[in-house]
Structure 1
Amino acid sequence: MSTRSHAAQTRPNSWLRELTRLKPAHWPIGRCLRAALSVALPILAGIMSGSAGSFMVMSLGALGLCLGEKDSPYIERFREVAIIAPIGALGFFLGYVGHLDWAFVVAAMTVVAFVVGLIGSYGSVLASALVQALLMGCIAIALPAIAPFWKPAAYFLAGCGFYAVLLGVEALFFRKRPFIVLVANLLEGLSKLALARSKNAEAAEEETIRRTITDKMSTGFASLLSGRYHQHGRPSAHLDWESSVLQGLSRIFTATLASNKPDNLEQAAHELKRLAALVRDEKPLPAAADNGAFADTLLSRSVEHFTAIYWSAGLSEKIAPPHVASGAVSASKRAGFAEALKFDREAIRSAAVLALCVCIAFATRWVNDGNHWYWTPLTVIIVLRPDLGSIFVRSVHRVIGTVLGVLVGVAAFALFPKGIALVCVLAVLAGILPWAAQRAYWMATFVATPMVLILIDITSPGAGTTDYGLQRLVDTLIGGAIILVFGYFIWPRTHSHELERSFQSAREKIAAYLLALKPVNPSQPDPQIGAKKRQAYVALAAMRKKINAAMLEPAPAGPEAAAWYPLVTGAERVCDDIGAWSARYTVAENQEAIVDALAARIAGNKPDGCAGIVKDEVNGDPFMAFASNICAAFDQIDGFMEKKDVGAKGQAVPAAA
Structure 2
Amino acid sequence: MTRGALAAGPLLLAGVLGGRVADGVLAAIAAMLAGINDRPGSRRASVRRLGMPALAGALGLLVGTYAGQQLSAVPLTLLLTVLGLAAGGISAVGPVASAAGTQLLVTAAIGAGMPAAESGWQRALAFLAGAGWLLVLRLVLPTPGSLSGDFRFDGERAAVADVYEAVAALLDAVGGANATARRAALTAALDHAQDALAGPRLRRYAGSAAERRLHAQYAAALPLAEAATALAWAGEPLSARAAEGPRRLAAAVRGNTGTGPLPAPSRSAPALRALDNALLRAAEAFDRAAGGGEHRLLARRRSAKDAVRAALGTGGREYGLRVALCFGASAAIAQALHHARWYGQHQHWYWLPATAVFLVKPDLGPLASRVLSRAAGTVLGALVFAGFAALLPRPAGLIVLVAVCGALVPVATRNFAALTAVVTVLVLALVMAGGEPQASAGRIGETLLACAIVLIVGHLPMPGERGAGVRARLAAAGSAAHAYLVHVLSESGDRAERWALRREAYRTLAEARTAIALAAAELPALARHTEGTDAVAAVLERLVDTTTACAVHLDDSGRLSPRHSRQLQEALDELEQRREWVGPPVAA
TM-score category (smaller protein): 0.7 to 0.9
TM-score by length of 1: 0.74
Indicate yes or no: 2:274 matched with 1:302.
Answer: no
Aligned equivalent of 1:618:
none
CA 555–153 in structure 1, closer or farther in 2 if over 3 Å, else same: same
Question: Alignment partner for residue 351 of structure 1, among 308, 320, 332?
Answer: 320
2:312 match: secondary structure: coil
Residue 448 of structure 1 aligns with an amino acid whose one-letter code is V
In the TM superposition, what is the alpha-carbon distance from 1:443 to its structure 2 partner?
A: 3.4
Question: Alignment partner for residue 531 of structure 1, among 493, 500, 504?
Answer: 500
1:201 match: secondary structure: coil
Question: Alignment partner for residue 226 of structure 2, among 241, 248, 254?
Answer: 254
Indicate yes or no: 2:281 matched with 1:315.
Answer: no
Over the residues paired in the alignment, what is the CA RMSD in angstroms?
A: 3.9
Indicate yes or no: 2:240 matched with 1:266.
Answer: yes
In the TM superposition, what is the alpha-carbon distance from 1:271 to its structure 2 partner?
A: 4.8
CA 119–638 in structure 1, closer or farther in 2 if over 3 Å, else same: closer
In the TM superposition, what is the alpha-carbon distance from 1:201 to its structure 2 partner?
A: 2.8
Aligned equivalent of 1:103:
74
In the TM superposition, what is the alpha-carbon distance from 1:485 to its structure 2 partner?
A: 0.5
In the TM superposition, what is the alpha-carbon distance from 1:179 to its structure 2 partner?
A: 1.2
Distance 1:459 1:496 in 2: 43
Distance 1:112 1:346 in 2: 17
Aligned equivalent of 1:612:
none
Question: Alignment partner for residue 452 of structure 2, among 481, 484, 487?
Answer: 481
Residue 431 of structure 1 aligns with an amino acid whose one-letter code is A
Q: How far does the alpha carbon of each residue in 1:567-600 deviate from its partner, in whole angstroms, 9 at most, with x for none? A: 21232133223323433443877x5xxxxxxxxx
Distance 1:244 1:103 in 2: 57
In the TM superposition, what is the alpha-carbon distance from 1:41 to its structure 2 partner?
A: 1.0
CA 510–286 in structure 1, closer or farther in 2 if over 3 Å, else same: closer
Residue 252 of structure 1 aligns with an amino acid whose one-letter code is L
In the TM superposition, what is the alpha-carbon distance from 1:247 to its structure 2 partner?
A: 2.8
Indicate yes or no: 2:131 matched with 1:160.
Answer: yes
Residue 89 of structure 1 aligns with an amino acid whose one-letter code is A
Q: Is the 8 A contact 2:12 2:21 kept in 1?
A: yes
Residue pairs, 1:172-183, within 5 angstroms: 174-183=151-160
CA 305–392 in structure 1, closer or farther in 2 if over 3 Å, else same: farther
Indicate yes or no: 2:377 matched with 1:401.
Answer: yes
In the TM superposition, what is the alpha-carbon distance from 1:231 to its structure 2 partner?
A: 11
Residue pairs, 1:9-48, within 5 angstroms: 32-48=1-17
Question: Alignment partner for residue 433 of structure 2, among 443, 458, 461?
Answer: 458
Q: How far does the alpha carbon of each residue in 1:418-471 deviate from its partner, in whole angstroms, 9 at most, with x for none? A: 44344334333322322332x233333232222212222333367xx2xx2232
Aligned equivalent of 1:611:
none
Indicate yes or no: 2:155 matched with 1:221.
Answer: no
In the TM superposition, what is the alpha-carbon distance from 1:410 to its structure 2 partner?
A: 3.5
Residue 356 of structure 2 aligns with an amino acid whose one-letter code is V
Distance 2:458 2:190 in 1: 35
In the TM superposition, what is the alpha-carbon distance from 1:98 to its structure 2 partner?
A: 3.1
Distance 1:578 1:270 in 2: 26
In the TM superposition, what is the alpha-carbon distance from 1:175 to its structure 2 partner?
A: 2.3
Residue 62 of structure 1 aligns with an amino acid whose one-letter code is A
Q: Is the 8 A contact 1:114 1:354 kept in 2?
A: yes
Question: Alignment partner for residue 544 of structure 1, among 513, 518, 535?
Answer: 513
Aligned equivalent of 1:608:
none
CA 412–187 in structure 1, closer or farther in 2 if over 3 Å, else same: farther
In the TM superposition, what is the alpha-carbon distance from 1:482 to its structure 2 partner?
A: 0.6
CA 556–414 in structure 1, closer or farther in 2 if over 3 Å, else same: same
Residue pairs, 1:104-123, within 5 angstroms: 104-121=75-92
Q: How far does the alpha carbon of each residue in 1:373-420 deviate from its partner, in whole angstroms, 9 at most, with x for none? A: 321111012333587675555434322332333344344435644443
Q: Which runs of 5+ in 2 are unaligned?
A: 144-149, 338-342, 583-588
Q: How far does the alpha carbon of each residue in 1:460-489 deviate from its partner, in whole angstroms, 9 at most, with x for none? A: 367xx2xx2232121101011111112434
In the TM superposition, what is the alpha-carbon distance from 1:564 to its structure 2 partner?
A: 1.6
Distance 1:216 1:505 in 2: 21
Distance 1:625 1:117 in 2: 46
Q: Is the 8 A contact 1:520 1:526 kept in 2?
A: no
Aligned equivalent of 2:527:
558
CA 130–452 in structure 1, closer or farther in 2 if over 3 Å, else same: same
Identity of aligned residues (%): 23
Q: Which deviates the most, 298-307 or 160-169?
A: 298-307
Q: Is the 8 A contact 2:47 2:200 kept in 1?
A: no
In the TM superposition, what is the alpha-carbon distance from 1:43 to its structure 2 partner?
A: 1.3
Residue pairs, 1:330-341, within 5 angstroms: 333=303, 335-336=305-306, 339=309
Indicate yes or no: 2:542 matched with 1:573.
Answer: yes
Question: Alignment partner for residue 623 of structure 1, among 548, 561, 564?
Answer: 561
Q: Is the 8 A contact 1:127 1:386 kept in 2?
A: no
In the TM superposition, what is the alpha-carbon distance from 1:503 to its structure 2 partner?
A: 3.2
Distance 1:257 1:323 in 2: 18
Q: Is the 8 A contact 1:493 1:556 kept in 2?
A: no
Q: Is the 8 A contact 2:88 2:323 kept in 1?
A: yes
Residue 188 of structure 1 aligns with an amino acid whose one-letter code is E
Aligned equivalent of 2:257:
284
Indicate yes or no: 2:440 matched with 1:440.
Answer: no
In the TM superposition, what is the alpha-carbon distance from 1:117 to its structure 2 partner?
A: 3.2
Aligned residues: 561
Q: Is the 8 A contact 1:518 1:587 kept in 2?
A: no
In the TM superposition, what is the alpha-carbon distance from 1:74 to its structure 2 partner?
A: 3.0
Distance 2:298 2:140 in 1: 33
TM-score by length of 2: 0.82
Q: Is the 8 A contact 1:135 1:381 kept in 2?
A: yes
Distance 1:45 1:529 in 2: 53
Residue 108 of structure 1 aligns with an amino acid whose one-letter code is L
Q: Is the 8 A contact 1:227 1:239 kept in 2?
A: no
Distance 1:338 1:104 in 2: 27
Q: Is the 8 A contact 1:192 1:209 kept in 2?
A: yes
Distance 2:139 2:40 in 1: 15
In the TM superposition, what is the alpha-carbon distance from 1:294 to its structure 2 partner?
A: 8.9
Q: Is the 8 A contact 1:518 1:525 kept in 2?
A: no
CA 236–509 in structure 1, closer or farther in 2 if over 3 Å, else same: farther
Distance 2:580 2:51 in 1: 49
Q: Which deviates the most, 450-459 or 85-94?
A: 85-94
CA 134–421 in structure 1, closer or farther in 2 if over 3 Å, else same: same
Distance 1:511 1:576 in 2: 13
Q: Which runs of 5+ in 1 are unaligned?
A: 1-31, 592-621, 646-657
Q: How far does the alpha carbon of each residue in 1:93-116 deviate from its partner, in whole angstroms, 9 at most, with x for none? A: 423433443333323332333343
1:176 match: secondary structure: helix
In the TM superposition, what is the alpha-carbon distance from 1:36 to its structure 2 partner?
A: 1.9
Residue pairs, 1:582-621, within 5 angstroms: 582-586=551-555
Distance 1:344 1:305 in 2: 42
1:279 match: secondary structure: helix
Residue pairs, 1:618-657, within 5 angstroms: 623-635=561-573, 641=578
